[in-house]
Protein backbone atom coordinates (compact mmCIF):
# COMPACT_ATOMS: atom_id res chain seq x y z
CA UNK A 1 0.00 0.00 0.00
CA UNK A 2 2.87 2.38 0.63
CA UNK A 3 3.99 4.63 -2.20
CA UNK A 4 7.76 5.16 -2.13
CA UNK A 5 9.70 8.05 -3.60
CA UNK A 6 13.45 8.07 -4.10
CA UNK A 7 16.16 10.07 -5.79
CA UNK A 8 17.74 8.91 -9.03
CA UNK A 9 21.04 7.98 -7.40
CA UNK A 10 19.38 5.93 -4.64
CA UNK A 11 17.61 3.84 -7.27
CA UNK A 12 20.92 2.98 -8.97
CA UNK A 13 23.29 2.51 -6.04
CA UNK A 14 24.12 -1.00 -4.81
CA UNK A 15 23.34 0.21 -1.28
CA UNK A 16 20.13 1.86 -2.44
CA UNK A 17 16.63 0.74 -3.32
CA UNK A 18 17.24 -2.92 -4.22
CA UNK A 19 19.20 -3.60 -1.06
CA UNK A 20 16.69 -1.76 1.12
CA UNK A 21 13.81 -3.80 -0.31
CA UNK A 22 15.72 -7.06 0.18
CA UNK A 23 16.88 -6.21 3.72
CA UNK A 24 13.44 -5.26 5.00
CA UNK A 25 11.30 -7.49 2.76
CA UNK A 26 9.41 -4.47 1.46
CA UNK A 27 6.69 -4.79 -1.16
CA UNK A 28 5.14 -1.79 -2.79
CA UNK A 29 1.96 -1.60 -4.84
CA UNK A 30 3.72 0.42 -7.54
CA UNK A 31 7.30 1.19 -8.53
CA UNK A 32 8.89 4.10 -6.67
CA UNK A 33 8.37 7.61 -7.90
CA UNK A 34 11.78 8.84 -8.92
CA UNK A 35 12.41 12.54 -8.42
CA UNK A 36 14.99 15.16 -7.61
CA UNK A 37 16.23 15.01 -4.01
CA UNK A 38 15.00 18.53 -3.38
CA UNK A 39 11.42 17.45 -4.08
CA UNK A 40 11.28 14.30 -1.96
CA UNK A 41 10.52 15.85 1.43
CA UNK A 42 7.77 18.06 0.02
CA UNK A 43 6.29 15.10 -1.86
CA UNK A 44 6.14 13.23 1.44
CA UNK A 45 4.51 16.15 3.24
CA UNK A 46 2.04 16.64 0.36
CA UNK A 47 1.11 12.92 0.56
CA UNK A 48 2.29 12.21 -2.99
CA UNK A 49 4.49 9.46 -1.49
CA UNK A 50 4.51 7.68 1.86
CA UNK A 51 8.19 6.81 2.28
CA UNK A 52 11.45 8.41 1.12
CA UNK A 53 15.15 7.93 1.72
CA UNK A 54 16.56 11.15 3.10
CA UNK A 55 19.15 12.65 5.38
CA UNK A 56 18.66 12.91 9.13
CA UNK A 57 20.06 16.45 8.95
CA UNK A 58 17.33 17.69 6.58
CA UNK A 59 15.95 20.85 8.14
CA UNK A 60 12.43 20.14 6.93
CA UNK A 61 12.02 16.96 9.01
CA UNK A 62 11.04 18.75 12.24
CA UNK A 63 9.54 21.71 10.41
CA UNK A 64 7.09 19.50 8.52
CA UNK A 65 6.53 17.18 11.49
CA UNK A 66 7.94 14.15 9.68
CA UNK A 67 9.07 10.97 11.38
CA UNK A 68 12.45 9.28 10.87
CA UNK A 69 12.15 5.49 10.82
CA UNK A 70 14.82 3.63 12.77
CA UNK A 71 17.10 1.43 10.69
CA UNK A 72 17.07 -1.47 13.16
CA UNK A 73 18.75 -3.80 10.65
CA UNK A 74 21.61 -1.35 10.11
CA UNK A 75 21.13 -1.33 6.37
CA UNK A 76 22.39 2.22 5.99
CA UNK A 77 25.98 2.81 7.04
CA UNK A 78 26.62 5.97 9.05
CA UNK A 79 27.16 8.74 6.54
CA UNK A 80 29.45 11.08 8.37
CA UNK A 81 30.32 14.38 6.77
CA UNK A 82 34.03 15.03 6.54
CA UNK A 83 36.07 17.82 5.07
CA UNK A 84 38.43 16.78 2.29
CA UNK A 85 41.14 19.26 1.47
CA UNK A 86 44.19 19.11 -0.76
CA UNK A 87 47.53 18.81 1.03
CA UNK A 88 49.09 21.82 -0.79
CA UNK A 89 46.18 23.95 0.42
CA UNK A 90 46.76 22.86 4.02
CA UNK A 91 50.47 23.63 3.61
CA UNK A 92 49.66 27.16 2.42
CA UNK A 93 46.83 27.72 4.90
CA UNK A 94 47.34 25.63 8.08
CA UNK A 95 44.67 27.71 9.80
CA UNK A 96 42.06 25.91 7.68
CA UNK A 97 43.04 22.52 9.08
CA UNK A 98 43.02 23.96 12.61
CA UNK A 99 39.55 25.46 12.12
CA UNK A 100 38.20 22.17 10.77
CA UNK A 101 39.75 20.25 13.67
CA UNK A 102 38.02 22.58 16.13
CA UNK A 103 34.65 21.73 14.54
CA UNK A 104 35.13 17.96 14.70
CA UNK A 105 32.37 16.34 16.73
CA UNK A 106 30.76 19.65 17.66
CA UNK A 107 27.73 19.64 15.35
CA UNK A 108 24.85 17.37 16.33
CA UNK A 109 22.24 16.16 13.84
CA UNK A 110 19.69 18.44 15.50
CA UNK A 111 21.96 21.47 15.21
CA UNK A 112 22.64 20.64 11.56
CA UNK A 113 18.89 20.30 10.98
CA UNK A 114 18.34 23.74 12.48
CA UNK A 115 21.07 25.32 10.36
CA UNK A 116 19.83 23.60 7.20
CA UNK A 117 16.30 24.81 7.93
CA UNK A 118 17.51 28.37 8.44
CA UNK A 119 19.29 28.35 5.08
CA UNK A 120 16.97 26.16 2.97
CA UNK A 121 13.53 27.10 4.29
CA UNK A 122 14.02 30.55 5.80
CA UNK A 123 16.47 31.60 3.08
CA UNK A 124 18.89 33.08 5.58
CA UNK A 125 22.43 33.84 4.48
CA UNK A 126 24.62 30.84 5.20
CA UNK A 127 27.39 33.08 6.57
CA UNK A 128 25.05 34.54 9.18
CA UNK A 129 23.80 31.09 10.21
CA UNK A 130 27.34 29.74 10.55
CA UNK A 131 28.52 32.84 12.40
CA UNK A 132 25.70 32.46 14.95
CA UNK A 133 26.47 28.77 15.41
CA UNK A 134 30.17 29.44 15.97
CA UNK A 135 29.38 32.18 18.49
CA UNK A 136 27.00 29.86 20.35
CA UNK A 137 29.73 27.22 20.53
CA UNK A 138 32.40 29.75 21.52
CA UNK A 139 34.37 29.07 18.35
CA UNK A 140 34.52 32.52 16.81
- pLDDT per position as a tens digit, 1-16: 899 999 999 999 988 9
> Do 48 and 95 reside in the same domain of the chain?
no
> Do 56 and 98 reside in the same domain of the chain?
no
> Do 59 and 95 reside in the same domain of the chain?
no
> Do 15 and 57 reside in the same domain of the chain?
yes
**Average pLDDT, integer, range 96-117:** 91
> Do 54 and 102 reside in the same domain of the chain?
no
Strands 51-52 and 4-6 come out as parallel
Query: What domain count does the chain have?
Result: 2
SS3 readout for the chain = CCCEEECHHHHHCCCCHHHHHHHHCCCCCCCCEECCHHHHHHHHHCCCCCEECCCCCCCHHHHCCCCCCCCCCCCCCCCCCCCCCCHHHHHHCHHHHHHHHHHCCCCCHHHHHHHHHHHHCCCCCHHHHHHHHHHHCCCC
> Do 101 and 58 reside in the same domain of the chain?
no
Mean pLDDT of the chain: 92
> Do 12 and 51 reside in the same domain of the chain?
yes
> Do 26 and 59 reside in the same domain of the chain?
yes
Residue 41 belongs to some domain of the structure: yes
State the pTM of this model.
0.78
> Do 48 and 14 reside in the same domain of the chain?
yes
Residue 77 belongs to some domain of the structure: no
Decide: 9 and 16 in contact? Cβ < 8 Å: yes
- Confidence tier at 37 by pLDDT (50, 70, 90): confident
How confident is the model over 121-131, as pLDDT tens digits? 999 999 999 99
For residue 74, what pLDDT is reported? Answer: 94
Instruction: Please choose, from the candidates 52, 42, 47, the residue with its C-alpha nearest in 3D space to the C-alpha of residue 7.
Output: 52
Domain, as residue range, for 59: 4-63
Amino acid sequence: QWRPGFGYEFMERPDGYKGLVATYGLRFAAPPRIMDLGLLTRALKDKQVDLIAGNTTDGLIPALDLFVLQDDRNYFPPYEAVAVIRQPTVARHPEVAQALAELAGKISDQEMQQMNYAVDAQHRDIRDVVREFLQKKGLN
